[in-house]
Structure formats: C-alpha cells, structure tokens
Chains A and B, each alone.
Chain A
Amino acid sequence: MHIVVCIKQVPDSAQIRVHPVTNTIMRQGVPTIINPYDLFALEAALRLRDEHGGEVTVLTMGPPMAEDSLRKALTYGADRAVLLTDRFFAGSDTLATSYALAAAIAKIGEVFGPPEIVFTGKQTIDGDTAQVGPGIAKRQNLLQLTYVSKIAELDLAGGSIKVERRAEGGIQVLETKLPVLITMLEGTNDMRRGSMADALRAARAEIVTWSAKDAGIEDILKCGLRGSPTVVKRVFAPSPRAEKAKQIELQPAAIDTADGLLAEIFGRLPALEHELVELHETL
C-alpha cells in the first residue's frame, strides 16, 4: 500500500504578529511548524502503514526551507519525503496549489507507485480555507472524505475504507472505494514520537526535490501568482469591542445557584433582562 500525506510548513500561530500598517502576517523571525492538522493526517497514515504494510510518502510545496518540516515528518516515521519547490510556485492561492500538488502526486504515483490514499489536514492554520484537499481530489479524480475524525476500517483486498466523519449534529460513518482523499480532523490521534532509528534515518535522508518541470508540470501559467485568480480586496484587523465589561458587586454567600445569580444580576440591570428576553423570542 502507498499513502501520500500532504503537509504544509506554517508560521507558529501562537507566536505570530500582525503588521500594524499593512495588516499582513509578519512571517519574519516567526518559528515555523508543521500545520497541526497535517500531523493528525500523518499519524493516521503511519498507523495504517504499521497495520497493513506499505509506504508513506510526505509531500510539501514551499520554499527550500520547507525541507525542515519534511525532515521532521521523516523523524516521525514517514518513509520518503518529496519537496516541490520552484520560483514559479510563489504566490499560489488554493487553486494553483491544488494544481501543483495534484501534478506532483501523479508524478509520485509514476515514480514510487500509485497511492491508495492521499491524506491532507482539514485545513491549514495560516490560510484556513480547507480548499486544497478537495481541490486535489477533484483534479486527481479521487473520491473524497472530508472532516474525518477516525479511520474505522481499511479493507485493502476489497479496495474499500470505512471512516467516521464529524458532521453537524453527529458522526457519520461512511464507506467508500479506494483510491480516496481524506482530510483529517484534530484531536483524534496524538502524534507519535519517532524511534532513535527513525531519527537517525531522517537526519541523513535524501529529500526528493522537484521543480515544476521535474513534477511534470507543463502549464506554468496555472502555477503561482499567475495561476491564482483569488484577489485579496482588503485586509483588516477586527477592531476591539468598544463596550467595556460591567462590574457589579455581589454578596457571593447569598447566592448558591446560577438561577440565583441571574436573578440578582437582572435585579440590578432590568434593561439587560428585557433585551435578552426579546432576543430569545425572536429566535
């Protein structure tokens, strides 16, 4: 079995700052991490490999420094890493990115064997669009399972997979045929810690590095800025709430239930009660 996992190197959102003038993300000097959702995808892939055999290839598109995240993925236990890097890819939106990644996955299929499963994270934390995974599926003509929280069953011989998908109001159990593209949700499986042997192998591994041409991409106009119809019209930081929180003094001993607390608050602020009741009625 061959599994391809798409990962993205993103700025660590915990340490990010927004430029006060341009309102764009200041990436300089901010540490990079593997997009957290992609790690859940990678762990799911590694578990399937451990159980069913085969290989896991990690793929990323990005600048040469994205190699760090691939090496890290190898430390976790991935078997092979492919870096798609070319100045033609600079400025790609989700359309251009899914085009380039789909082409690279096709090439990976030719060189290392066609994948039964392609994994991505649900979305990246720097773009938050959740479009690239489905984009790849469409271009590669793969069935797609999005927002997957758990891989329930893989039947390689029968060529099918059963997953749990988190949907509004519940969990859907879905079964579909391979090959398939799966976008993984958070919180379902913690990333493993690679063994010493994996860490040693990762430190010395040769990262397969492909340019657009190497990946068999002929139509450069579909790549990078030129292949990206998305236009950012305006970027702005949401203004902080103008209204200040009200502080009211209460005798805590006198109140022992939430209802009691509400009654006390509404007693002091009758306008608020009226407002909330009205809101409730319109809903």
Chain B
Amino acid sequence: MIDERFDAIVIGAGMAGNAAAYTMASRGLKVLQLERGEYAGSKNVQGAIMYASMLEKIIPDFREDAPLERHIIEQRFWMMDDRSHTGMQYRSDDFNEDKPNRYTIVRAQFDKWFSRKCREVGVTVLTETTVTDLLVDSSGKVLGVKTDRKGGAIQADVVVLAEGVNGLLGTRAGLREPPKPENVALAVKEMHFLPAETIESRFNLKGDEGCVVEAAGTITKGMTGLAFLYTNKESISVGIGCLISDFAETRESPYTLLETFKSHPSIAPLLAGSEVKEYAAHMIPEGGFKAIPQLYGDGWVVVGDAAQLNNAIHREGSNLAMTSGRLAGEAIHRLKAGRQPMTKDNLKLYKELLDDSFVMKDMKKYKDMPALLHTNSANFFMSYPQLISQAAQNFLRVDGTPKIDMEKTTMRAFIAKRSRLGLISDAVKLAFAWR
C-alpha cells in the first residue's frame, strides 16, 4: 500500500478519463491516472470523428497543437444494396470556418496528445499499470484501487471509472451489470494508407478538408449496423459494426462483413491501391438511454463508454465521453472545494450536471430507437435499401415504359414487400422514436 493519498484516481486514459483527469487537475486537485496500455491511446479504438465544441470546453485552444487529421466539409449517407447505393450528400463551404466543428482524428496520436496535456496540468499518469480491483470497505464505499504492480494499492477520496465499454472493474465490484449482447455493437476497422493527393482527388477535397461516408443496408446482411469510411490526412479509416447479439445469431463474422463492404462497387474504387497498416476491433455501447447504469455511489463515479453513454443514432460517443468526464471532474472539484465528502448523496451532483447537459437530453430523445431498429432490422437494413435502389433505377432508366407504369411498379414493390400497414407502421414508429 502506498502511503500517499490522492484526491481522485482516474482509471483509464481514453476520452472520458483524460477529460476527467484534466478537468480536476487543472482546478488544483491531486489526480492519479492509471492506464493499462503502453501509452495513453495504445488500447483505444474509434472511427474516429472528434467534435470540437466538447473539447473546447476542456481545452479551449486545442487547435494549436492537437494532432487533427482533416476537418469535415462533406457528409455522405449511403443506403446500400449489393450493387448500388442511394445517397444523400451534404457539402458546404461553411464548414471551412476558422474553428471547424468536426475533425477526423487518429486516436493513438490524439490520445497521446491529450495525455500530455493532462500531465502538463499536473496529473500523475502511470501507464502499463492495470487496476485489478477496487478497494471497498464493509459498507461498500470505494476507498481506492489495487493494481498489478508490487505494493500497488493506493487510496483516494474518489475513484473515476473510465475503464471503457467492458467495464470489468465496475461489474466485478457489483456497481453495475455487465453490458448485454443486444446493447453492444462490435465494430472492426482498417486503416488504409494512400498519399494525401490521392485522397484529395478521390473525394474532391483540398488541403485539410475531409469527407465522411456512412452507409447502411444489405452490407450488414439484415443485422442492425453501420459501415463507415473516414478520410484522414494520409489514410482512410474504413469499418463496419453490428450488434453482438446479431453476430451471435447469424454466425456472420465481422471481418467477412468488412471484406464485403470494401469490395462493394461503390467503395472499392475509393480504396484502390491502398496499403492496409492496421486492423482493430472495438465494442460500442448501443443500448441507449435505457441501458445507462447507476452512475455514482459512495466514493465512485462512472463516465464514458463504461457508463454506456453513446448516441448510436448520431454516431456520437467520444464527445459524450469527454463531456461526462468533464462534468464528473467539475462535480468532484465543487465538492472538494466545498469540503464535502465524496458520498453517494453528494456525488449525485454529477448525475444532475449530466441530466442538465446535452448528453442525457440526447440519450433520452432516442430512448426507443435502439429497440425499434433492432426488432425491425430486416426491414430497415434489407428491404428498404433494396426497394429504394429499385425505385431510383426505375426513375432513371429510360426505356420507353410510360412514367405512370414505372411509378406503379415502384409502389407495388414496396407494398408487396412490406404491406401498406407495415409501411405506415414503420413510418409512425420511426417518427415517434425520432421525436
């Protein structure tokens, strides 16, 4: 046991952990951060898109030295069947602003930078140090952590669990249930290296401009999931993810899905000639509002993926992680400044700050969406993309068929596949879940 005490111990050096550690240390708290990886970021996987305003609230001038890849000026949503995609595309020069809103990042590099920032404000960061257990007293109060280093038990007023989606520590200590397979997606990703000029010409970009493609449809073989393609400076991140429960049921393998996606006629030309340098897999909490566990207790709070804070519909995870980390840090700092103990009653402040923020408001807004997309996945991911593709082809092919007949064909195809009632029911349910 180390004699020295800390105000707070943060477990994990991902977005949530770094945000919490930085927030507390920059306000004068004595913070110890423990990371099992070789360096902060070595274990962290994300697409990755980073939203500026959430980081600005933590490090306002991050643009000066953070390793950012490209700011995103164009977003493409593709609905795919096996041979085509029907797309919606938005591109605006407004995104070429002084302080852009979204960037692609490479987490290994970004997290290293974020960790350096933490150390600069006084966080004691120990890497290659795995927390094996929480120190808990007989009343259930968390007193500190045990690590895999010799003499590695260490105490603090509060422990911030930023341990990631699996949340092994928190579940082992009985603070929450392990995440359920239907609430977690498994995503796989590859980094494809290409010269910057090639990427710029293929995606119609210049300088640091970036483009994002997000795609759903038959590529997930009826499972609830999403594929993506993000442009970095000299690489393209390409990946696909589906719910673990779906993978279990269909016996599909993630890498086969990724191979199929990469060889899709709409995707293959974008990746042609690239060199694959990295393959990674990661779990993503997708359960939404209803899967959020207890977020605080005597001597502990949980933030980020471990708290299942992820907005699957808007594909926002890291900014919810950063914000929850920051708010936990702010709550702990306020309690510390007021000389209040880190009891469950007092740490409720963190939950209140979170409820008041966009994090919980967004999570609540889409509380019914995960269930809807999941139970109805065959329609949303197989039938509709195919029908929409047929409709588009009917509209575009000119072969002398009267237009009225074409429209009827399209309409009949929809009804045959899903019935009038089914179509209306899906539309209504979708509208309600979105509301």
Q: Interface residues of A: mostly helix, strand, loop or mixed? A: helix
Q: Is A157 located at the chain interface by the 8 A CB criterion?
A: no
Contact status A204-B2, CB under 8 Å:
no
Contact status A197-B2, CB under 8 Å:
yes
Contact status B150-A195, CB under 8 Å:
yes
Which residues of A in the span 193-232 have a Cβ within 8 Å of any Cβ on B? 193-197, 199-200, 203-204
Query: Would you give the 0/1 interface string for A121-139, flagging 1 where the beta carbon is closer than 8 Å to chain B?
Result: 0000000000000000000
Query: Would you give the 0/1 interface string for B143-177, flagging 1 where the beta carbon is closer than 8 Å to chain A?
Result: 00001011111100000000000000000000000
Return chain A residues, CB-CB under 8 Å to B153.
Answer: 196
- Alpha-carbon separation in the docked complex, A167 to B291 (Å): 64
- Alpha-carbon separation in the docked complex, A204 to B30 (Å): 13
- Alpha-carbon separation in the docked complex, A199 to B32 (Å): 11
Contact status B124-A204, CB under 8 Å:
yes
- Alpha-carbon separation in the docked complex, A197 to B150 (Å): 8
Contact status A195-B152, CB under 8 Å:
yes
Return chain B residues, CB-CB under 8 Å to A200.
Answer: 2, 4, 124, 126
Q: Is B125 located at the chain interface by the 8 A CB criterion?
A: yes
Which of B4, B150, B152 has the most chain A CB within a 10 Å cutoff? Answer: B150
Q: Closest approach, in angstroms, between the C-beta of A119 and any C-beta of chain B?
A: 23
**One of A75, A196, A204 near B147 (C-beta < 8 A):** A196
Return chain A residues, CB-CB under 8 Å to B383.
Answer: none
Query: Would you give the 0/1 interface string for A177-192, flagging 1 where the beta carbon is closer than 8 Å to chain B?
Result: 0000000000000000
Return chain B residues, CB-CB under 8 Å to A193.
Answer: 149-150
Residue of B nearest to A33 (CB): B38
Q: Interface residues of B: mostly helix, strand, loop or mixed? A: loop
- Alpha-carbon separation in the docked complex, A259 to B150 (Å): 54
Residue of B nearest to A193 (CB): B149
- Alpha-carbon separation in the docked complex, A203 to B2 (Å): 15
Contact status A196-B124, CB under 8 Å:
no
Residue of B nearest to A15 (CB): B277
Q: Is B129 located at the chain interface by the 8 A CB criterion?
A: yes
Contact status B151-A196, CB under 8 Å:
yes
Which residues of B in the span 362-382 have a Cβ within 8 Å of any Cβ on A? none
Q: Closest approach, in angstroms, between the C-beta of A139 and any C-beta of chain B?
A: 35
Contact status A203-B151, CB under 8 Å:
no
- Alpha-carbon separation in the docked complex, A204 to B2 (Å): 15
Contact status B152-A203, CB under 8 Å:
no
**One of A196, A203, A204 near B149 (C-beta < 8 A):** A196
- Alpha-carbon separation in the docked complex, A253 to B202 (Å): 56
Contact status B125-A194, CB under 8 Å:
no
Return chain B residues, CB-CB under 8 Å to A75.
Answer: 128
Q: Closest approach, in angstroms, between the C-beta of A221 and any C-beta of chain B?
A: 36
Contact status A195-B151, CB under 8 Å:
yes
Residue of A nearest to B125 (CB): A203
| Given A199-B129, A200-B4: A194 in contact with B124 (beta carbons within 8 A) | no
Query: Would you give the 0/1 interface string for B365-409, flagging 1 where the beta carbon is closer than 8 Å to chain A?
Result: 000000000000000000000000000000000000000000000
Instruction: List 6 A-B pairs, minimum CB-CB distance, nearest first.
Output: A196-B152, A195-B150, A196-B149, A196-B151, A199-B126, A195-B151
A–B complex contacts, Cβ < 8 Å, 14 sampled: A75-B128, A193-B149, A194-B149, A196-B147, A196-B150, A196-B151, A197-B2, A199-B126, A199-B149, A200-B124, A203-B124, A203-B125, A203-B126, A204-B124
Beyond the given pairs A196-B149, A196-B150, 7 more chain A to chain B contacts, judged by CB atoms under 8 angstroms and listed by A's residue number, are A75-B128, A195-B152, A196-B129, A197-B2, A199-B126, A200-B2, A200-B126
